[in-house]
């Protein structure tokens, strides 16, 4: 396993947030914009139960590198 290219998924039931470590440029936009969900000082560092789905989507969409993305859970069942 390449520790520099890990993909992790975190779900709140409605959506799943996907983090790709190899793309992350550590801009801190996620952490400073929604610290209730994104906190690199703790594990797991993404806690999607910390905010509403719409707030998480809005913050993930601001990720400049594309390291963070999301999908609706019902979409993955099709």
What's this model's pTM, rounded to 2 decimal places? Answer: 0.88
Q: What pLDDT is attached to residue 75?
A: 67
% pLDDT > 70, the chain: 91
Identify which has the larger pLDDT, 77 or 59.
59
Query: Which position has the token pair 């390291």?
Result: 67
pLDDT above 70: residue 57: yes
Q: Which domains does the chain have, with CATH numbers?
A: 14-70 (3.30.70.20)
Across the range 42-64, mean pLDDT stands at: 97
pLDDT at 76 over 90: no
Tell me which residue of 49, 45, 58, 41 sits closest to 19, measured CA to CA. Answer: 45
């Amino acid at each position: 396993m390449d520790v520099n290219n890990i993909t992790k998924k975190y779900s709140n039931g409605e959506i799943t947030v996907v983090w790709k470590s190899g793309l992350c440029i550590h801009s801190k936009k996620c952490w400073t914009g929604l610290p209730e969900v994104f906190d690199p000082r703790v594990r797991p560092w993404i806690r999607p139960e910390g905010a509403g789905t719409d707030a998480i989507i809005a913050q993930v969409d601001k990720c400049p590198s594309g390291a963070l993305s999301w999908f609706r859970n019902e979409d993955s069942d099709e």
